[in-house]
């Protein structure tokens, strides 16, 4: 069996970490009563639910603990206080013009949702129907993104009849998700939100010349946004489908997403993998 490159091996570890953390966070939130579930966790079961979640979080952390600890020590951080300072400095250094622009684009939606909750309005974005449509269509873009990534990969790696078939399938996908956006957004507004929310996701393919890195970035972006949306909706949504609960989800989700865009969190796995490869 061929030996994996250090960077590839670390990326696989990160995937395992992400899955374990998600499997650990959800039970912990349910045990603490922060998730809206049909049936609350029985009091006697709460310790076991919390333990189950902590075990998965510990398991996920173990996947990447040793290489990350070595990287941190190489940077001179020897205790938790120094680690926090190092992390803050590295995150600040990740901010650039492109990241700031992406954060502003998402931040506008976050501010509009927060303003709506507070009873204020932002021109062109203040109506509940408009903001609720943006949140609903954001979930549509998350759902559509993996399929579009696969379609784009085949479009750029096939020729002849295979490319023609892929182009046809891509058009069908675009038409299908466009129809959903039209329905959720009440017409052209939905199409506008779909384009506004989908374009930044597709720009990931112009950030690097290597197709493998593009796929990695696209996969990371999808996984991060999906996990974030699911967790926020489970905590804030309250299981409701009203415009108020939808906008509440959007307020927290878009705020957190703006921060993640600002520090280019999607690119962190690749950057860490490169750093681990250099250190080994």
Q: pLDDT of 89-139, one tens digit each? A: 988 998 888 888 888 989 988 998 998 888 877 776 657 788 888 888 898
pLDDT value at residue 259? 93
Per the model's pLDDT, the better-predicted residue between 240 and 253 turns out to be 253
Q: pLDDT of 23-78, one tens digit each? A: 899 889 888 887 766 677 888 888 999 999 999 999 999 988 888 888 888 888 78
Flag the least confident range among 51-55, 157-161, 222-226: 157-161
Q: What is the mean pLDDT of residues 227-253?
A: 82
163-167, 260-264, 271-275, range with greatest mean pLDDT: 260-264
Flag the least confident range among 4-8, 95-99, 145-149, 228-232: 4-8
Q: Which residue in 273, 275, 266 sits closest to 201, CA to CA?
A: 266
Check whether 18 has a pLDDT greater than 90. no
Check whether 220 has a pLDDT greater than 80. yes
Tell me the H-state helices in the chain: 6-31, 46-74, 80-93, 97-117, 128-157, 160-185, 188-202, 211-236, 243-262, 268-279
Report how far residue 237's alpha carbon sits from residue 241's, in angstroms, rounded to the nearest whole number.
8
pLDDT value at residue 1? 43
Q: What is the mean pLDDT of residues 200-227?
A: 73
pLDDT value at residue 56? 93
Q: Is the dihedral of CA 213, 12, 88, 279 positive or negative?
A: negative
Q: Report whether 101 contacts 138 (CB < 8 A).
A: no
Flag the least confident range among 38-52, 80-94, 152-166, 242-256: 152-166
SS3 of 240, please?
Answer: coil
Question: Residue ranges per domain, the chain?
Answer: 1-94+268-280, 96-262
Q: pLDDT of 171-208, one tens digit each? A: 888 888 888 888 887 788 888 888 888 877 776 666 55
Compute CA distances 88 → 60, 77, 178, whole Å.
22, 12, 40
Q: Position of tokens 């932002």?
A: 122
Percent of the residues in the chain that have a pLDDT greater than 70, as a whole number: 89
180 burial (CB, 10 Å; 0-12 / 13-18 / 19+) is middle
**CA dihedral defined by 56, 250, 178, 219, rounded to 10 degrees?**
-30
Q: Which residue in 59, 60, 45, 57 sits closest to 15, CA to CA?
A: 60
pLDDT value at residue 212? 66
């Amino acid at each position: 069996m061929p030996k994996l490159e250090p960077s590839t091996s670390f990326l696989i570890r990160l995937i395992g970490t992400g899955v374990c953390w998600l499997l650990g966070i959800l039970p912990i939130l349910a045990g603490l009563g922060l998730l809206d579930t049909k049936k609350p966790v029985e009091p006697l079961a709460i310790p076991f639910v919390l333990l189950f979640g902590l075990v998965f979080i510990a398991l996920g952390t173990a996947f990447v603990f040793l290489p990350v600890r070595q990287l941190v020590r190489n940077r001179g951080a020897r205790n938790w206080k120094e680690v926090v300072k190092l992390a803050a400095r590295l995150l600040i250094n990740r901010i650039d013009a492109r990241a700031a622009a992406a954060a502003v684009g998402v931040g506008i939606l976050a501010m509009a949702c927060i303003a709506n909750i507070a009873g204020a309005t932002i021109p062109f974005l203040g109506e509940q129907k408009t903001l609720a449509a943006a949140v609903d269509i954001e979930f549509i873009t998350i759902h559509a993104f993996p399929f579009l990534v696969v379609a784009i990969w085949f479009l750029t790696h096939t020729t002849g009849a295979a490319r023609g078939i892929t182009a046809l399938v891509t058009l069908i996908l675009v038409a299908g998700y466009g129809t959903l956006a039209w329905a959720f957004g009440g017409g052209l507004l939905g199409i506008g939100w779909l384009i506004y929310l989908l374009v930044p996701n597709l720009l990931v393919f112009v950030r690097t010349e290597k197709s493998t890195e593009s796929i990695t970035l696209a996969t990371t972006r999808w996984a991060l946004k999906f996990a974030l949306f699911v967790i926020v909706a489970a905590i804030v949504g309250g299981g409701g489908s009203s415009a108020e609960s939808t906008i509440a989800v959007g307020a927290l989700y878009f705020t957190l997403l703006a921060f993640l865009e600002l520090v280019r969190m999607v690119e962190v796995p690749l950057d860490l993998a490169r750093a681990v490869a250099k250190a080994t």
